[in-house]
Amino acid sequence: MLHELSLGDLHGIGTNMELRLHSQGIHTVEQLCAAPKELLRGIWGGIEGERLWHRIRGEVTEDYDANPTKRSISHGHVLAPEMRNPPKALPVIHRLIQKAALRMRDGGFLAGALELDLRFTNRESWSGSAGFVETADSLFLTHMLKTLWAARPHQKVDILRANIVLHKLIREAQFTPSLFDRESNGRIDLLNKTMDRITGKFGKEALYLGGAHGALDTAQPKIAFKHIPNVKIEG
């Protein structure tokens, strides 16, 4: 029955994705159904291709359809007393953003906004946010974090708690990349995925962005409301 449909009739296949499929020799739904799971994962650049492979076989399970309407990914941490002054707190916050970006990529999402929330030891708080074109690039998110950090109140008060939130999430399959920067986007995606594979195999200390140096043992995974951490990627 599916073979009578066109590619664009299937949920998750827009104009841009249809062009990607064509570039891999897939022009009909029949060819799509015959394509191996690994090929579809590569075309989508992540788990969405694998999810589609299962869906067209009627194998929709929680494992492949988890968090379909997820709105944000966040990480927060109460800083140890010796880490509460700004120079020592910043690496911990970098650790938080790198963890959140890894979780986001593992779930097949992109974020369109970043929020940084700080609570100080005098019970005051501050929050800053920035919007941008949807991305899952850790390096770009680190640059945005630096911008928000520079905008915080520069007062002589220690930081008690830090929280970062990635929101305005969309699925990778919903994103249309720039027509003018495809080569650069491809290199960035490959870099992030290579880093994820290395840290997944050898641990968080094997490869990380320098901003988190000295804080890798902070913000250890904990079971939270509606989120059981995947220690393989969050440990």
Is residue 13 within 8 Å of residue 28, measured between CB atoms?
no
Pairing of strands 109-120, 72-78: unpaired
Phi, psi of 109 (to 5 degrees): -110, 160
Cα–Cα distance for residue pair 229/22, rounded to 1 Å: 37
1: which 2 tokens? 């029955």
Cα–Cα distance for residue pair 81/78, rounded to 1 Å: 9
**Domain 72-234: what homologous superfamily?**
DNA polymerase, Y-family, little finger domain (3.30.1490.100)
Residue ranges per domain, the chain? 2-55, 72-234
Nearest CA among 139, 121, 119, 140 for reference residue 131: 140
Q: What is the pLDDT along the chain (235 residues), one digit of tens a residue?
A: 889 899 988 877 888 889 989 999 999 999 999 999 889 988 887 677 887 888 888 775 444 444 444 578 989 999 999 999 999 999 999 999 999 999 998 888 999 999 999 999 998 999 999 999 999 999 999 999 999 999 999 888 999 999 999 998 998 877 776 666 655 667 878 888 888 888 888 887 777 788 888 776 775 555 444 444 555 555 5
DSSP string, 186-222: HHHHHHHHHHHHHHHHH-TTSS--GGGTT-TTSS---
DSSP E strands: which ranges in the chain? 72-78, 109-120, 125-135, 159-167, 170-171
First to last CA, the chain: 45
145: which 2 tokens? 């974090």
Evaluate if pTM is beyond 0.75. Answer: no
Write down the residue that tokens 């379909």 correspond to: 68
- Beta bridge mates, 120: 159
